[in-house]
Structure 1
Amino acid sequence: MSDSTAVVRDLAQRARTASRHLALLTRADKDAALLALADAVDAATDRVVAANAEDLQRGREGGMAAGLLDRLALDADRVAAVAQALRDVAGLPDPVGEVVRGSTLANGLQIRQVRVPMGVIGMIYEARPNVTVDAAGLGLKSGNAMILRGGSAAASTNRTLVDTLRSALAAQGLPQDAVQLLEGGHDAVTALMTARGLVDLLIPRGGAGLIRAVVLESTVPVIETGVGNCHVYVDAAADLGKALAITVNSKTHRPSVCNSAESLLVHREVAEQFLPKALAELAGAGVVLHGDPATAQLATEGIEVLPATDEDFDAEYLDLQMSVAVVDDIDAAMEHVRRHGSGHTEAIVTEDRGAARRWTAEVDAAAVMVNASTRFTDGGEFGFGAEIGISTQKLHARGPMALPELTTTKWVVEGDGQIRG
């Protein structure tokens, strides 16, 4: 047994013990603990920001892209938002014990399907230290122990956050091992991915390379999350004022996150009217534009449009870059999405109810938007509180994953001596 395998086995065994304790907690117990964790994060703001400054400095020295630096950065306001997310989770219904369905059979047996915790959940994620706290909070509320493997870029921040959370759990009389941080290199990650039987579920959250590696190499069950090559399609029947606002917000509101739009598709009938203004506004916001020939021809003087390749249309930029294409009709737009999309979020802007119905029925994605920004695909915006990630697969969970998605079910059958004849 390698050293990394032994470390992961020890973490998982301690997490299993902690999860059995969590499974017995009442909602009141869990909510009180979440509020205490939020207060502890608030109180640790200065230490968290100082640790984050170390990570940011290493990132800059290592040439980290601006979008990734933005994901990594925590200031006092962002720490306060992270703490508030814990309070928001405390205010949500507890999924554990919820009866999904049930009935009384003709023989008098009472059967019901109830939500129960997964048990031990591992998370592998990149430079997003807010995920550390979100995962801990959602895990606690859903009765799961969490093993967290954050990216090395956020090592100092994650260590400070996890130490803060573990101390707060201990102060509440709860097992510290409900939240654990796995450190180490690739061997440690591999050991976590192959800890089948010790870890019940693995959730990767990050770029396409990370998610692909975890999905392909894990023997632990995986929920695939979050690669977001999201599109905005401006239909022939679009309100172009709405279309401009939605396009700019979808791309520029926070370009480093997975629900940021990476591609703009415009119906040929409105391209000449819409694109010159849209390209100018996007460029004015600092967006680097990659367009097809029809798009380039419609750019006004001084607006640069780089020639777009298939790689550009496939790209999840996570940055102020966007691919743009003119399409003949809604069918061409949907075909473009099928070829290049990642199944995350796809938006149509149209006043044609028939076109909207076709889009929502035919586009295969975790979320489809009609006359709304792609940025709304978010657990908080959907009213779920903090999210553990956005699933782009179809089994078990799809879209923003919050508390119910961190549970499984068991069947409870109660009788009075019945036997099967």
Structure 2
Amino acid sequence: MSEPPRFDRGHTDDLMSFLAASPSPYHAVANTAERLEKAGFRQVAETDAWDGTSGGKYVLRGGAIVAWYVPEGAAPHTPFRIVGAHTDSPNLRVKPLPDSGAHGWRQVAVEIYGGPLLNSWLDRDLGLAGRLTLRDGSSRLVNVDRPLLRVPQLAIHLDRSVSAEGLKLDKQRHLQPIWGLGNDVRDGDLIAFLEETAGLAAGEVAGWDLMVHSVEPPAYLGRDKELVAGPRMDNLLSVHSGVAALTAAATSGAALPSIPVLAAFDHEENGSQSDTGADGPLLGGVLERSVFARGGSYEDKARAFAGTVCLSSDTGHAVHPNYAERHDPTHHPRVNGGPILKVNVNNRYATDGSGRAVWAAACERADVPFQSFVSNNAMPCGTTIGPITAARHGIKTVDIGVAILSMHSARELCGADDPWLLANSLVAFLEG
């Protein structure tokens, strides 16, 4: 038998609950806000005047949330320490005219969001979740967390070539889920069903941001349960560790030399260019207003930003036992080996040598091992919010994360110890 797990799995148990309760970015930020409130943070409205009092505060906008904790006596030029992450994951999202169907099947019209592994959505029991916008401008979260939809794969008897040539999916024709039977497909059927589900009056919904999700819950996997399988680890794993670290730093009683921040953005998977994305003004506006609320000037803001460091935390690639040749031959991150430091000299990741030193110091303080990741030179390298954050705000940024398998699948795989290790390293970073 292998050795038992080294770490208390309470953090990972809580991560699994967080993943299951957060089928959309809107649910993720609502659950994050609830955890912040329990730790004594309070929401501030962007339309209100802000005060310079100490304590924990947060701004919630759509599928994004920025939270920060001002220590007692913090000066206007006090720098920030930021954990950056994102709330969105690749999936299938409902179109403006959602009701479709053919040949006696009722279907839901969907678009492809981000870059999902399309085959992972086939023959899987799917729910539907997201945000409903009402006629009065307010919004309501909805979550049909039961088997409601399914994208059926074509039987092999009708496509013998799939064994020899591989599965080929047309994004328009082959990924529209079914959700019932009937020849009379009426506009408004899906939204009427969701209005009834959410306890709303007929015709009350004026807009929607809806997406499908696998209803299979997260689970421990493996002989010794040393692995976790679940949805949306990219990148709710980092959001969960980030809020755990921020609340721990805010309630530790430690003398904080910087202002710890959690910035969880939406729309990373399609370029971050939105009012709630990392390439938008949200983070910069919050940090600037925090400086000014404490009586600071433009000079104080410049000083604060010059001393600020951001850890862009996102999942990365663990070495795959069946495709090891796709990885750099000298960099093979392993699950449960500790978080990874991501490096790319072409700035697909924002890490440089000085950033590595910041990260290494945090891991040393937390007694957490870390690994290094670079892409195989012959393979394209992904990217994160890291380079965007560094360039937009002029702040030192370091790309880190947890190594996983099956990234962008409807169901991903990580080590059961790595989320706990990441959270501990983030606490040390925020307190450092």
Q: Please identify which structure carries the higher helix content.
A: 1
Q: Calculate the TM-score normalised by the size of structure 2.
A: 0.25
Q: Please identify which structure carries the higher strand content.
A: 2
Higher Rg of the two aligned structures = 1
Structure with higher RCO (Cα < 8 A, 6+ apart):
2
